[in-house]
Structure 1
Amino acid sequence: MEKHYIDAIASMSVKNPSQVILRGKDGAGPWYDVTWGELWNDVTACSRALISLGVKPGDNVVIFSQNTTQWITSDLAVMDIRAVTVPIYATSSPGQVRYIIKETGAKVAFAGAQAQYDILAGLCSEGAVELDRIVVFDLSVTLSSENSVYFRDFFSSVPASGAHADELESRRTQRSDSDLATIIYTSGTTGEPKGAMLGHDAIMQAMKIHDIRISLGPDDLSLCFLPLCHVFERGWTWYCLYKGCPVSVLTDTKKIGEALPEVAPTAFCSVPRIYEKMYQKINANVLSGPRIKRWAFNLALGIGRRYNECLRLGKKPSWWLRGLYTVADRLVFSTVRNAIGGRLRIMPTAGAHVPHFIIDFFHAMGIHLMVGYGLTETCATVSACPDVNYELGSVGTPFPEVEVKIGQENEILVRSRTLMRGYYKKPEATAEAIDAEGWFHTGDAGMLDEGGNLFITERIKDLMKTSQGKYIAPQMIESRLTGDALIEQAVVIGDQKPYVTALVVPNFAALKEYASAIGLKFKTVEELINAPRIRKLYEDKINELQKELAGFEMVKKFTLLAKEFSMDSGELTPTLKIRRKIILERLAPQIALMYGQGQGSPTDK
């Protein structure tokens, strides 16, 4: 087994030069293919160009872009010259970008589109950062500074032979698993961002343990749409390339619905919110159909649940159940699967609580939702549900060679060769996170059952204690609410409060459709959510959704909001997690109303 990730990539390019390994799309144009041979040629040319700029082993190089095939090429080239990739989310603010560039001392940055380029060029012109070169992926970007060059021109400007080529070959012979590969800054729901340092040893260990648990290969096809800046998508893409699995890279994540039938992937990784939306859309389509369609779908779903419960437990379904499932699959499930490409077989998911009914729903239709758990600091995966013998509600069992134990306050502790080397330039934070025995303190509360299944309770910092002394796990409650087709987002409040309340963002498309069906007239969204019939609709829904919760966990009051939380407003992280502190601060007046304080309408945002 290779010790350096780039050695594995180089080996694949030599073995399969004509195999398509990447697919990309420029705007509304067609998908284009990149073979292994083309990818490696581009990586080599980009590597020489980086060396020509004076980038040395161990130097930090920034990638500030949305997903593109050039993103992957640049990442591989930075690793190829034994430098360190520092990805920055494409939605980051100028202040966040300045902080990361200043802390890492990067002198070269790759930029995606106009928005990212303008931020980098602006910071340079202000003297806030010093970049020797800004390399721009998108040819439609208007360049405004002398230190800027298009990606296409950047790597074609350096000859294929000479001093830079010789230096590249020298570095390739010196590659070691001790090389630092990347510094990934945690997007963070609170606090100052920290850069987790991951080495090639950790990456290659991650490849090794994934091989034991996951079956993936050249006949598969993955769709890349989560930000490559995030360890989940980047780690999954690393693994796909390592296994020779082609990757289609989607730049505009809003077009995931269009891309699924076009690409027809067999796999992709995502956060639970994406699956919740898929579930809602499928359910809404069924409910809007004739009664016979709803009856057939629910009947098939019941058969699918019984069939897949046997598979989950490692049992062979009876011949009668197998026959029923074959019919249900042919008449119902295949139609649903075709709407999302028709070939999906594995969908790793992590990052938040996944409701049981969502998992059950997809498994019934023959789509394996592989629920797992991981962190930036652990090079992504810590645990995942295997194909059989896993517990619903858990995040599976730890991967081979990954140790997990429960510490004080039920905190999950992890020890593995996939662990980060520490936080960049933050020795105190590193010492706080990794103890003397090498255990990483995750900050997540959880438990292990007798079968080794790991259950996540909540982020320890997010756990709420009501004024009555009861502990509340907000994400669990929020995931119940957002599983409904009429609820897009929810934020639960309860810390040091006498009862639990919630800020609820409706699914406005579904809500407007419902209003039209019942003949409810309205001029504005605010008027719609304040309508008594709509308030009663959501009150009934919330009561139904939380009927299995303990009394102290139930939402007693709620406020409907007229605007969604977004990344642009800073209320969501790039992986769609809510930034609870920011939301609670901004909506303090609306929250106060739910506890009998202040004046005004509780549905105003």
Structure 2
Amino acid sequence: MQSIEVKDAPDIPGEGKPRRNACSPDMLLDLPPEATTLYENFLHGVKGGKFLGRRPIVNGVAQPYVWQTYSEIQQRVANFGSGLCKFGLKTKAFLGFFSINTPKYVIAELACNQYNFISVPLYDTLGADALKFIINQTGLEFVFTTSNKGRILLDMKESLPTLKTIIISDDVDQDFIKRANELKVQVIDFKTVENDGKTHKAEEVNPKSDDIATICYTSGTTGMPKGVVLTHKNLMSVVCSFIFLGEKGKMIKFTKDDVHISYLPLAHVYEKAIEIVFIYAGVAIGFYQGDILKLFDDIAELKPTIFISVPRLLNRIYDNVLASVKGKSITQWMFTTAYNAKKNGLSKGQIDHWLWDNLVFSFARARLGGRVRVIMSAAAPISPDIIDFLKICFSVNVFEAYGQTESYFVFKEYYKEPKKTREVLDKYGWCHTGDIGMWDELGRLVIVDRVKNIFKLAQGEYIAPEKIENVYCKHELVAQAFVYGESLKTSLVAIIVPDRDALILWAKQNNLEKYSFEELCELQETKKHILQALINHGKTNDLKGFENVKNIHLTSESFSVKNDLLTPNFKLKRPQAKIKFQKEIEKLYSEVI
């Protein structure tokens, strides 16, 4: 059993008994005794070796990673924090972060932790309205940013009355400086803050565990984001959990020999929390170039030992590996034979095979650099088949993590939103997540979907669309899927983004190579083929009849953060998708017999 009911817990009508991890049945974990704040967490990791790595770009070409050690970064953190004090940032004041992941981002956050400032992440692609909302709600005066993101802030300055100072982490031109001066915004170079702090030391005011560490805004799929107020204790409870699970053999123990690639947004609590855990252990953190299309080039260079990801990307790895062996008779036969042999071994707790790992699966491991020893997935449900696939092909432990911004030792409140806080935190202190879950026979929490995602069809059947989308996205021809239904209809329809490479290959095999990818998406022949393929695929994967879509529309435009169809953590924005594809949905239903 993975969890058990709490002894002598009161019976509350309509609620099940609370449960605890079976490894700790009688008590809740608290904090690591030697690290009760994020600043102390960093001090614990300083004994490690190399810390932050990046790839310099020379003439447009990414170079090998260059590193700074924990000790070197410790000095820079102290200098930068001292410099922030010199430029007027007060204890417990807010510092905004509007940037992709970089070493300087981490240095600035660590400085906040040391000098008791409060970080306020701004999602890289939240959109103007949400940015304006967050900056104005928190009254941000100081923002750490890059030159391209800084221009966005300057363009919005008339709507941002509190913004006074921009700290730029890269180079800016004179036009930028001139524009900022006209708008009465002070622009300070990151190095200037660091150097001033080095020569004018400010007294540290280290935080306590109950002090606020960050206001992390949720990237909700509807409305304005909510500011989740997280204390140092909230975030350090995650470290305590990882330490405890590692000691019990339920989680990998991370060490200074591990290497992590940072590409998921640090503005999101998933990456933020996991990096806090890694810093405690002295793990080396290498950053991607900033272009997700070049991620696997960065992975090949870095050769991480840890791969933290989300289902959307792991599903693509699954598709690409299978596509690389399909149609190659001997290769496909060997892969299938090896795969089935290792799958049989999984039932016995075996993830390694002396022959097949070297003979067949080495090419798959190379896609993640060849050294990965653990994979973790979170942010959305992942198919059990994908987990098995990752264990088989990469010969590693695969962990599926569950959590939300609000649920790290239960958050303090939504910033300046008492009504919304009361809707989520009840009088007993329980956090109502909005997820639909169940306990399985081993006491594991299984998340089925979101309350707001579940809907009924006209005949009364409940539909969990994300479950169906996950099934469809496992098909080689499907890159992304949006499954839609409503209570006045008896069937489902879907918007499908085909996989470009797989569709072009299919076109060549069916004498349709004269058509471009965009043109293929408009062909009735393509639509008919993919619809039938999905129906067959759904049946194979145990979808019920009413769960299979009856009609589809193909689009060549991917769902993305840029076109507002995905959150920064790659979750589908259903209300926005419905609005964008409203005409197509109406047409699909008109065609259903």
TM bucket by the smaller chain?
Answer: 0.7 to 0.9
Q: Tell me the CA shift for residue 140 of structure 1.
A: 5.3
SS state at 2:266 partner: coil
Q: Which residue of 1 aligns with 2:69?
A: 35
The 8 Å contact of residues 101 and 129 in structure 1, kept in 2 or not, is answered as no
The 8 Å contact of residues 82 and 202 in structure 2, kept in 1 or not, is answered as no
- Structure 1 segments (4+ residues) deviating >6 Å: none
Cα distance change of structure 1 residues 274 and 526 upon mapping to structure 2, 3 Å threshold: closer
Q: Tell me the CA shift for residue 254 of structure 1.
A: 2.2
Q: Which residue of 2 aligns with 1:373?
A: 402
Does structure 1 residue 77 correspond to structure 2 residue 111?
yes
Q: Tell me the CA shift for residue 521 of structure 1.
A: 4.0
1:95-494 aligned within 5 A: 95-114=129-148, 116-124=149-157, 126=158, 128-139=160-171, 143-144=176-177, 145-146=180-181, 147-161=186-200, 165-168=201-204, 171-172=205-206, 175-213=207-245, 214=251, 215-250=253-288, 251-288=290-327, 290-311=328-349, 325-365=353-393, 366-379=395-408, 418-494=409-485
Distance 1:300 1:367 in 2: 16
Residues 44-80 of structure 1 show CA distances to partners (whole Å, capped at 9, x for unaligned) of 1110111112222221110000111111111111121
Cα distance change of structure 1 residues 51 and 360 upon mapping to structure 2, 3 Å threshold: same
Distance 2:238 2:116 in 1: 19
SS state at 1:519 partner: coil
Distance 1:351 1:158 in 2: 38
Q: Tell me the CA shift for residue 449 of structure 1.
A: 2.3
Letter in 1 for 2:402: Y
Q: Tell me the CA shift for residue 159 of structure 1.
A: 4.4
The 8 Å contact of residues 86 and 196 in structure 2, kept in 1 or not, is answered as no
SS state at 2:403 partner: strand
Distance 1:47 1:158 in 2: 7
Residues 191-224 of structure 1 show CA distances to partners (whole Å, capped at 9, x for unaligned) of 2210101101112211111112231111111111
Cα distance change of structure 1 residues 159 and 275 upon mapping to structure 2, 3 Å threshold: closer
Letter in 1 for 2:526: I
Distance 1:75 1:543 in 2: 49
The worse-fitting range, judged by mean Cα deviation, of 334-343 and 189-198 is: 334-343
Letter in 2 for 1:34: Q
Q: Which residue of 1 aligns with 2:11?
A: none
Q: Which residue of 2 aligns with 1:538?
A: 530
Distance 1:121 1:527 in 2: 40
Identity of aligned residues (%): 30
Q: Which residue of 1 aligns with 2:568?
A: 574
Number of residue pairs aligned between Structure 1 and Structure 2: 537
The 8 Å contact of residues 56 and 62 in structure 2, kept in 1 or not, is answered as yes
Q: Tell me the CA shift for residue 518 of structure 1.
A: 2.7
Distance 1:505 1:374 in 2: 28
Q: Which residue of 1 aligns with 2:22?
A: none
Higher relative CO (Cα under 8 Å, sequence separation at least 6) belongs to 2
The 8 Å contact of residues 123 and 129 in structure 1, kept in 2 or not, is answered as no
SS state at 1:373 partner: coil
SS state at 1:92 partner: coil
SS state at 1:440 partner: coil
The 8 Å contact of residues 108 and 133 in structure 1, kept in 2 or not, is answered as yes
The 8 Å contact of residues 111 and 117 in structure 1, kept in 2 or not, is answered as yes
Q: Which residue of 2 aligns with 1:20?
A: 50
1:515-534 aligned within 5 A: 515-534=507-526
The 8 Å contact of residues 98 and 129 in structure 1, kept in 2 or not, is answered as no
The 8 Å contact of residues 2 and 8 in structure 1, kept in 2 or not, is answered as yes
Letter in 1 for 2:52: L
Distance 2:171 2:556 in 1: 38
The 8 Å contact of residues 232 and 269 in structure 1, kept in 2 or not, is answered as no
Distance 2:124 2:319 in 1: 28
Q: Which residue of 1 aligns with 2:547?
A: 553
SS state at 1:341 partner: coil
Pairing partner for 1:564 from 555, 558, 573: 558
Pairing partner for 1:510 from 502, 513, 528: 502
Q: Tell me the CA shift for residue 495 of structure 1.
A: 2.2
Letter in 1 for 2:578: L
Q: Which residue of 2 aligns with 1:389?
A: none
1:588-599 aligned within 5 A: 588-596=582-590
The worse-fitting range, judged by mean Cα deviation, of 2-11 and 294-303 is: 2-11
Q: Which residue of 2 aligns with 1:401?
A: none
Cα distance change of structure 1 residues 335 and 80 upon mapping to structure 2, 3 Å threshold: same
Letter in 2 for 1:582: Q
Q: Which residue of 2 aligns with 1:404?
A: none
Distance 1:361 1:298 in 2: 12
What residue ranges of structure 1 are gaps of 5+ in the alignment?
312-316, 380-417, 599-605
Distance 1:212 1:276 in 2: 30
Distance 2:355 2:147 in 1: 48
The 8 Å contact of residues 307 and 364 in structure 1, kept in 2 or not, is answered as no
1:52-91 aligned within 5 A: 52-91=86-125
Q: Which residue of 1 aligns with 2:14?
A: none
What residue ranges of structure 2 are gaps of 5+ in the alignment?
1-33, 246-250
Distance 1:223 1:449 in 2: 33
SS state at 1:90 partner: coil
The worse-fitting range, judged by mean Cα deviation, of 473-482 and 567-576 is: 567-576
Residues 413-434 of structure 1 show CA distances to partners (whole Å, capped at 9, x for unaligned) of xxxxx21101001011111101
SS state at 1:210 partner: helix
Cα distance change of structure 1 residues 233 and 495 upon mapping to structure 2, 3 Å threshold: same
SS state at 2:88 partner: coil
Distance 1:193 1:37 in 2: 37
Letter in 1 for 2:281: K
Residues 113-149 of structure 1 show CA distances to partners (whole Å, capped at 9, x for unaligned) of 41x110112223x253332210111225663324112
The 8 Å contact of residues 96 and 143 in structure 2, kept in 1 or not, is answered as yes
Letter in 1 for 2:101: N
Letter in 1 for 2:66: Y
The 8 Å contact of residues 487 and 505 in structure 1, kept in 2 or not, is answered as yes
The worse-fitting range, judged by mean Cα deviation, of 464-473 and 349-358 is: 349-358
Letter in 2 for 1:449: D
SS state at 2:135 partner: helix
SS state at 1:157 partner: helix
Does structure 1 residue 49 correspond to structure 2 residue 43?
no
Q: Tell me the CA shift for residue 346 of structure 1.
A: 1.1
